[in-house]
Structure formats: C-alpha cells, structure tokens
Amino acid sequence: MVGALNTYVTPSGFWNPILWLIAFLISLLLAYIIWSRGEKSYKKETEQVKPFFAGNVIESKERAHVRAHNIYWGFVEALRPYYMALKRIHTGDVNDYVAWFIGVTSFMLIIYFLWGVKP
C-alpha cells in the first residue's frame, strides 16, 4: 500500500500518479476559489435555460438531436481516395471476402517462414 506512493520508474521515464492526484485536487481547489467569486444566481424556469437556437423554439429534443456519425465526415472527406478504393473492394460477396482472407494469411505465412522463424 505504501509502495503505491512511490514513483514508478522505467528505464526511460518516471511517473508518480498519487502525487499528481494530490496536485490536481489542490489545483481544483484553486480553480474553485476563483469560481466561487462569481455570481451564482440565474433566473430559473425562464427563457434563459432554453438552448440557444438563433431565437427559434426547439419543438422536441429528438428533432434537435445531432447524430454522432457527423464526426466521420471530416475523416472520410480528407481520405477520400483511400475510402473510395476501400468501397470498391467491399463488394458484398462473401467469396471475395474469403479470398482476401486466404490471400492475406498466406502472404503473412510466407513472410513468416522466410524471415520470421529463428534457426
């Protein structure tokens, strides 16, 4: 238990999580001191608590929900040539997928037997 308080030393680095946790809690205290000097109140149950939507009314939460697959647009657009090539490969035919599996496995096995096995 007391051993957990020691610094964890590796050949290329060191790290003491407990010390960081103590420092983090003290920094949290410092941030809280600044935070508590601010104004606490707000008008509950008025228009203030509705989300900002350029002055319009959000009818229901489902309509305002932003789906998570938006994240992928940035990556797909940036790597579009790679993505298009992958799409062409995915034909939907199980025989093609099995052929890929056998091809890649055999390639890896050849490389392993040529250069991987120790004498």
Partner 1 sequence: MVETEKKVMARKLGRLVRAVWIFNWFNSCGCTELLPVVSSRYDMERFGLIIVDNPKHADCLIITGYQTIKSIKRVVRIYNQMPDPKVVMALGSCPITGGMYWDSYNTIKRLSDYIPVHMYVPGCPPRPEAVFQAVGLLVEHVRKLKEEVSRK
Partner 2 sequence: MMYVLLALYIIAAPFIVGALGILYGMVLKGIDRKLTARMQGRVGPPLRQPFYDVLKLLEKECIIPENAVKWLFNAAPLIALAASITTLLYLPIGPFPPLFSGNGDLIVILYLLEVPCLAILAGGFAAGSPYSTVGSQREMVLMISCEFPLAAAIIALAWKYSSIYPGLKAFSLTTFVNNPIWNNVGVLGFIGVGILLIVMLALSTSGLGRLPFDIAEAGTEISGGMLVEYTGRNLGILYINDAVRVVVFATLINAMFFPYKLSPLIANYVALPLAASLTIDFLFYLFKVFLIAFVTVTLMRVAFPRYRVDDVVKFYWGIAGLATLAALILIVMDTFFGW
Q: Which stretch binds partner 2 (CB under 8 A): 45-53, 85-93, 94-102, 109-117?
A: 45-53
Of the two residues 47 and 93, which places its CB atom closer to partner 1 in the complex?
Answer: 47
CA dihedral sign of residues 52, 53, 55, 61? negative
Catalog residues that contact partner 1 under the rule CB under 8 A: 42-43, 46-48, 50, 52, 54-57
- Spell out the residues 6+ positions from residue 73 whose beta carbon is closer than 8 angstroms to its own: none
Give the burial class of 43: count Cβ atoms within 10 A of its Cβ; 0-12 exposed, 13-18 middle, 19 or more buried: exposed
| Residues at the contact surface with partner 2, assessed by CB under 8 A | 7, 11-16, 19-20, 22-24, 26-28, 30-32, 34-35, 37-43, 48-54, 58, 61, 64-66, 68, 70-71, 73-79
